[in-house]
Structure formats: structure tokens, C-alpha cells
Amino acid sequence: MTDEEREPFGTSENCRLASPRVEASPRLDVLLRSYVRSFVLAAAILVLFALSVVRTYSLGHNEKFYDNPIYRWRESLAIALSRMQNPPLQGYLADRSIRDYLARHGLALLAGEADVLPTPEQRRALVQDGARMNQLLQEAARVPIDPKLEPVTLTGNELGLADYFYWAFRIYGLNLNALVLFYYSILLVSVTLFFITFRRSPFCLLLLMFYLIGHFFAVNYANNPLIQTIHNSRFLLLSPCCRQCTSYC
Amino acid sequence: MIHRERASPTNVVVAGLQAFILFFVVFCRSQAFWQVLAILAGILVVLRFGDIWRALAHTKPRPAIKRIFGPTWPALVVICGLAGFAAYSSTAPDPRFYNSESRTHVFWHVLYVGLISTDPELTSLYGYGERTYSDMMGYVAVLHDSRGRNEAPSEFGEVVDGVININAIKDTGAYDRVVQRIYLSVVAEHPWLTLRSFFVGKPSDQMEMFTQVAALRNIRAYVEVLVLGLGASVLAVLSGTGLPQRRQIRESAIALALLTICSWTTTLIVPSVLIPDVIIFYLMLALLITTYLPLALVSSWLMGTTSPRGQTGT
């Protein structure tokens, strides 16, 4: 490779450098080569992205919830389902009927939330059973709402998880797989934006590839009992790493 | 920012979208805030304070403004995002139900538990026999404080048969304010132990926690990462990524130092293994050092030049 070829490919600067000295066909050659390189790098990025997706599905993250911590996602789920009602309940509030339904069907945490408080093992068995959880979601969404009951709030936790659930279910349907699909949709948007911005810088694209390799590693890390699935809000920290690279590139 | 991309409409829109994703994730998990700090800290890398000072000294505000906003526009987008995030967080939750409550994670409670858990002397003084890093440490501290003052907090305390009890979940905001007071009194009383907790206890506990995570002891996972990293570096070098120039090395070193400092924010609040973003950052750094730099060096050596126009990003 000559020194000239080591310039950023596909840039207008490259074309300017080449134009006074070379004829049309070598310039076309440079352009063509730069497009091929862009294509190869884009393909590598897509492959790395796909590796994380495949590993996520092979680990079954699309078929389970996590039992650590249940309170946060149970209330967030109730808020999201309440927002999906007609009329929707806004203001990060959950219809008590929905929250109580979830609590009475295996997700009770405190005395008084259900007639019989499930043991941690029973709760774990429920949240890791995709079919039962999907059924519970469907039933909770259809539960008759009693408007006289005071709504429920999510105390001492970030409220964004309710939005995450809401948009995941709105876009991909009311099932656990929607949470994984939504996660990767955010990541894909983030990666695409990064690629668009830095498509002319192989070094920045290298950083993006390193990030995706790290993400691939982290999907395994998510099997940690304190995380369990990639849609645990403890794992949602990942998507904006691309933003971090964007800023530092 | 370091790449000094122009603030073209496309770039600004793309940065705006990225900022939106960033703040959405912060809204889901406040721990991600260190990344906002890292971006804002990037301002220190790209601003040439001498030039700005000279322009201001010659009463030329326009060049000074250009020098400030030209390279830092991505951080400005993030600042706008931060303002939007703050406005949304304070207005979107229904004020009738969220008014007296902490709308995000309790902060001082976590800081207090982290402080007491990471220094053996503080643990023996204020741990009240509770397991280190357990939430009970904070609750029991507030309970002791309330009983010591013989004063049940009106928002979340109650007196049953003459005994003061608390239920923090009733009003986490008020609870967190009490923890803040207790935390500051501990710091004032034991400044040396506090420093020791921050600079010795927390970092060493963080490392200790990492060694106990099975996924981080999986050699095969590191081999996978290394092979993929090597492949990515080969592709990048073949695509024209050369060695960084001296100025780029200097700026990258400052940027990486700032990123590293910001990535420690979570640990300095409370050591935790729930920081996959920080782990990814260190993996990226390790891959840069172990795969990209050696390959770029070999490539430059093979070409008999260090390529002064070698293209790099940082």
C-alpha cells in the first residue's frame, strides 16, 4: 500500500488531492477502492453486531425476566401496561388493578400484596418461565380497571424503565422477546448514527468495532445472577457507549 | 470533538439523536451519568484556552466565541440534552403522587452504604452489625439516628407502643435527606477515614468484586475478544489507519485520562460489579494497546515510514 492510499478513504479531501494530478480512471479507481473498504468495514461491523444478537438468543435472554430486582420492573411493567390502556394513564402512574393482578399472580413481594406470599424460588421459577410470563403479561394488559383505586407509583427508582417497556411493547408486541428486540433496535440506531458520522475515519470505525466486541463479551457477563438478561436496566448502560466514542473521536 | 467534526446540520442532528439515546438510558439507569460527565470533560481537551484568552484580551468576542463553540459543539448538544432531561424529569411524573418522593434512585443512601462498607473502622463504628453493602446499613443508621434524637421523621416514621420505627419506602426523598445529614456528619467526624475509604477501600473492593465474577475469569471469553480485536485491527490497518501523530497522541492521552477518571465515578460512589459499560471501556482500551498499536507499528515499519499523514481518530 502506498502512502497516498493510507489517507482517509472516500473523503472529498482525497478526491481534491487526486484531481490535479491524475486522470479520470485512476480517480475512479480510488473512489471504487474506498467504497469497497467502506463496504468491508460496514460488513465487519454488522457481523460483530450479529454476534451479540446470536449470543443473546442462544443464552435465552428473550425468554425470561430477572428476579433481581423484581420491584423495579414489576412497577415499571404496570406503569407501561397502564399507559397502553384506553384511556391511557399518564404521569408514570400504574393502575392499581394491573399492579395488584401482577402481585397476586406470582410477583408479590410484601405482605398484603397477595393472600400467600410466594417464596423467592417460586418467583424465580415464574420469571424465568417465558411462556408463563408472556401469558401473565397478556392477562395483566386485559385486566378490568377499577378507576376508584388510587394509582401506584415507582418509588426510589429511575422511571425510564417504564418508557422502555412501553415502547418495546408498542413496537414489537406484548411479549418478552420485544424487550430484546427493542434493546437491539436502540443499539442498531446508535451504531448506525456512529457509522454515518465517522464512515470516513477507519480509526473511529475501529473503535466502533472494539465497542461491539466488548458488547459481545458483556452479553456473557449479563448472565451474572445480578443482571441475568440484557433488558435488565442494570445492563441498559451499554447503548450510549457509542455516543461516548462519538464525542471522543 | 477531538476529531473536530464540523457542526454541519447532519452532524448536529446525528449528535442530537445520540444525545437523546444517552439521556434515555440515563433516565433508565442514573449510573450512566458518568458518560455525560466524560463528554463534558472532553471540552478541556479541545479548547485552546490561550487562544481564547488572547482573543478576549484584544476585545475580539467573535473570534473568541468561534474558538469556544467551534470545537465543543458536541458537548453543547449534550448540555442542551441535559437541560431537556432535567425539564422532562421534573415535569413528566404526576406531581400529585411524585411530589414528595425521590423520582430517581436514592443517592445519599448508596453513598453512605459505600462509605461505611469500604473502611473496616467505619464499618465497626457505623455498620451496626449489618452485612457490608446491604441496604440495611442505611436503614439502620436512620433508625438509630431517629431513636437517638427521639424523633420519628414525620414523612416516613411512626411510633408504635412508644418505639420509633421507619418505613423508607413511604417517602424515599425525605429518607434520603436524613441519610445525607448522617453521611455529612460522619465525613465531618472522620475525614481521614473518609479519604481512606475513597482512595484505598473503594478501589480495592472494586477489584476484589471483579475477581469474584465468574464471567470475568472465563479465559475463553478473553481469547474470543482478542481474536476478534485482532481481526478488526487488521481490517483497520488495511483500510489506512496509521500511527497517530504526536499531537494526536497528546490529545488522546488527555482524553483517555479524563475518560478513566469519569469511569471511576460509579466505583467512588459505591463499588459494584454492575458496571458493564466500564468493563467495555477497559476492554476497548486493552484491545487498542494489544492489537491495534502493535499492528500499526509493524505496518509502518514494513512501509519504511511512520506516515505523517496517517489517519487516526483520536
For B32-90, write each residue's pLDDT tens digit.
898 899 888 888 877 777 766 776 677 666 766 776 677 788 888 999 999 999 999 98
Together in a domain, A112 and A140? yes
B298 in reach of chain A (CB within 8 A): no
| Cα-based distances in Å from A130 to A63, A135, A235 | 4, 9, 20
State the Cα–Cα distance between residues B268 and B188, nearest whole angstrom. Answer: 18
Together in a domain, A79 and A137? yes
Note down the domain range covering A208.
4-62+179-248
Looking at the DSSP assignment, which residues form a beta bridge with residue A41?
none
What's the domain count of chain A?
2
Omega before residue A69 within 30° of 0, cis:
yes
Residues within 8 A of B (CB atoms), A 79-138 only: 90-93
Percentages (nearest 5) of helix, strand, coil residues in chain B:
75, 5, 25
Together in a domain, A206 and A126? no
Residues of A with CB below 8 A from B74's CB? 246-247
Nearest CB to B280 within list A7, A157, A241:
A241
Interface predicted TM-score of the whole assembly (ipTM), two decimals: 0.85
Together in a domain, A168 and A225? no
Q: A144, A160, A175 — which closes off a domain? A: A175
- pLDDT, residue A62, reads 93
Here the cell at position B107 is 443517592
Together in a domain, A161 and A197? no
Together in a domain, A83 and A164? yes
A159 in reach of chain B (CB within 8 A): yes
Per-residue model confidence as pLDDT tens digits over B123-152: 999 998 899 999 899 999 999 999 998 888
Together in a domain, A78 and A128? yes
Q: A136, A151, A175 — which closes off a domain? A: A175
Here the cell at position B306 is 511512520
- pLDDT, residue A174, reads 96
Together in a domain, A104 and A186? no
Residues within 8 A of A (CB atoms), B 195-224 only: 213-216, 218, 221-222, 224
Together in a domain, A104 and A27? no
DSSP 8-state assignment for residue B241: B
CB distance A143 to A77 below 8 Å? no
State the Cα–Cα distance between residues B179 and B111, nearest whole angstrom. Answer: 9
Q: Extract the residue ranges of chain B whose pLDDT is less than 70.
A: 1-4, 51-52, 55-56, 59-61, 63-64, 67-68, 99-104, 305-314
Residue B183 carries which side chain, given as an amino acid letter?
Y
Measured in degrees and rounded to the nearest 5, phi and psi for residue A8 equal: -55, 130
Q: What is the pTM of this model?
A: 0.85
Residue partners of A164: CB distance under 8 A and separation at least 6? A76, A179, A182, A231, A233, A236, B24, B28
Helix (H, G, I), strand (E, B) or coil at A8: coil
- pLDDT, residue B43, reads 83
Q: A136, A160, A175 — which closes off a domain? A: A175
Q: Extract the residue ranges of chain A whose pLDDT is less than 70.
A: 1-26, 237-249
Here the cell at position A175 is 411479549
Helix (H, G, I), strand (E, B) or coil at A2: coil
CB contact under 8 A, A248 and B42: yes
CB contact under 8 A, A243 and B3: no
Give me the residue label for grid cell 466514542. Answer: A245
Helix (H, G, I), strand (E, B) or coil at A50: helix
Least Cα separation, residue B132 to chain A (angstroms): 17
Residue partners of A132: CB distance under 8 A and separation at least 6? A106, A126
In terms of Cα–Cα distance, which of A216, A230, A249, A188 is closest to B259?
A249
State the Cα–Cα distance between residues B126 and B117, nearest whole angstrom. Answer: 9
Residue partners of B141: CB distance under 8 A and separation at least 6? B112, B116, B126, B128, B179, B182
- pLDDT, residue B107, reads 86
Looking at the DSSP assignment, which residues form a beta bridge with residue A94?
A152
Together in a domain, A75 and A54? no
Together in a domain, A139 and A51? no
- pLDDT, residue B102, reads 60
B234 in reach of chain A (CB within 8 A): no
Residues of B with CB below 8 A from A75's CB? none
Residue partners of B99: CB distance under 8 A and separation at least 6? none
CB distance A245 to B35 below 8 Å? no
* Residue B164: its H or E element: strand B163-166
CB contact under 8 A, A158 and B28: yes
